[in-house]
Amino acid sequence: MRRASFLLAGVAVLAVLGWKVWDAEALIARGDEVMLALAPVDPRSLMQGDYMRLAWALERETIRLDGSEDAIVLGFDERRVGRFRRLADGGAPAADERIFRVRRSPVGDGVMVEPHSFLFEEGRADLYAKARYGIFRVDADGRHLLVGLADADARRIDPR
């Protein structure tokens, strides 16, 4: 009986993990591509091993969430770089807008955009040091995944 319980628990864990992977892959395949500007980070902590610490320009803006929201609405410039336009109010965004999920900053007014790190292959630090934008895939509900970084010209940094 104990062995069957462990086996059942293992199958349940694998099923949940499989669903999470499938969900992320679906977001990458079908989500809209959005770029957000990176904010300057202390260069001594920018590259730490095989990952890069990220800070987002949106986090430096004063965006007051009133407690009921966990999303903002982004508008875009000609290069498809997202800029804060307004708080999400539950209504549908305009054709040139996208909902983007955020978290309330634990310090002061503002929002937190996740993630705050980007992992890359060993030996690629010089390539990614040129990054100025994060490239996200975003679904209609504002869920997002960071899928890459772009340079100052908004071109995806290709590690190949």
Residue 118 parent element (H or E): strand 117-119
**Sign for the pseudo-dihedral over CA of 133, 134, 140, 142:** negative
Mean per-residue pLDDT, 55-74: 86
- Name beta bridge partners: 33: 137
Between 140 and 3, the more confident residue is: 140
Residue extents of the structural domains in the chain: 1-30, 32-150
Cβ atoms of 112 and 59 closer than 8 Å = yes
29 or 119, which is more confident: 119
Lowest mean pLDDT among 19-23, 41-45, 91-95, 102-106: 41-45
Provide the pLDDT for residue 41: 66
Taking 90 as the threshold, does the pLDDT of residue 93 lie above it? yes
Quick one: 25 exposed, middle or buried, by C-beta within 10 A (0-12, 13-18, 19+)?
exposed
Q: Given this model, what pLDDT does residue 44 score?
A: 46
What percent of the chain lies above the pLDDT cut of 90? 39
Instruction: Choose from 41-45, 49-53, 71-75, 89-93 the range with maximum mean pLDDT.
Output: 71-75
User: 9-18, 25-34, 43-52, 148-157: which has the minimum mean pLDDT?
Assistant: 43-52
